[in-house]
Amino acid sequence: MHSLSQLRAGELVGVTRLTLSENLTEFPLEILSLADSLEILDLSNNQLSKLPAEIAHLHKLKIFFASNNRFNTMPEVLGNCPELEMIGFKANQIVHVPENALPPKLRWLILTDNRIETLPDSLGQRPRMQKLALAGNRLTSLPQTMRHLENLELLRISANQLTECPNQLLDLPKLAWFAFAGNPFCQTDLSIDSVPHVASSRFTLQNVLGQGASGVISKAVWNDAQQDFQDDIAVKVFKGEVTSDGYPQDELNACLKVGNHPNLVQSLAQVNEPGFLALIMNLIPSHYKNLGLPPNFDTCTRDTFPAGFTLSIAQIDTIVTQMRDVFEHLHANQVCHGDLYAHNTLFDEEANILFGDFGAASMYHMLDDKQQSQIKQIEQRALDFFIDDLLSVCAEDNRDSARFQALKQAIKPN
């Protein structure tokens, strides 16, 4: 985090990344003095509602964040930024996205949690687009031009007002991570009671184990002696608001529809009280650890791994066998996970895996047979990317093995 006083004193000359959060109501023109170096500009968590035309003078700018501000129109001037490829306007008040607001090199656009009803046709004319987050808006349809987004890999359209399944997206050649729950076209009256309802007063939350876009997971203990459940539990308390992936209730429903599987975190009970939505799960043994790390700015949609991390081909083969079985289980229950990644997978020294995080999951039993087949094919690409990512960290002396070659050849070309 930087300060406006540092900027005005000339202390930030030459920086490539600038973050300012000081309740700003106007764009500080002093930022323009960094034009010869600045690549990442983060003005999130301010009170901005417009940008000056001069921002286009930041000729090296690649990434611009302005989440949690007061924009009601996506600034058209951004379309004049020649190198800009990533834009984030999460949680503003945006109603309008002008036709010319999207820069030519755009590959990552975040417009989650706004008030957008329509998108310009120019969205489908950005051939580098890889990642597009549109959840939590008021979209009633999507541009037909989006069928031209041949490099799009991750798409979030959950929690909108889409009345028809956007068929123009289902045949995109690289689409792999797709979330669409919480729209009229996929509404369902399905009642899922695969686990019992319990009162929140029956347990006490303890230390936080982790948190994501949709909720906080904590260790918990029962307040009374248990006969129905195991003693060691974890509780995910949903935040009760739209996230980058959609509505928490859709996540809960999808998770319960899937049911139990040896390689999924087991759901035990649910809490559905006014202002308190939660899922009670088995506590994961402490010897499990994350298989991967989330994508970064450079990889955009693909997982990353710690420096020096490797797996043997035997471990990879064991992990892939389990994940393929999970995949078939999910789709036998007509649920698309939407986030099939190594960073959502835990593993132990014997390469046993536990897969979770249903924040981007979507039920699709209400779609027609062709659409259902297309949804499964989309997630098949995510599984292929998952395998490819694991092979990228395979131990060098295992890469000539028959098992390595067999896994590599099984990946369908994109």
Q: Which of 124, 125, 156, 119 is nearest to 139 (CA)?
A: 119
- The answer to whether the CB of 155 falls within 8 A of the CB of 139 is no
The answer to whether the annotation marks 236 as part of a ligand binding site is yes
Binding residue positions for ATP: 236
Binding residue positions: 236
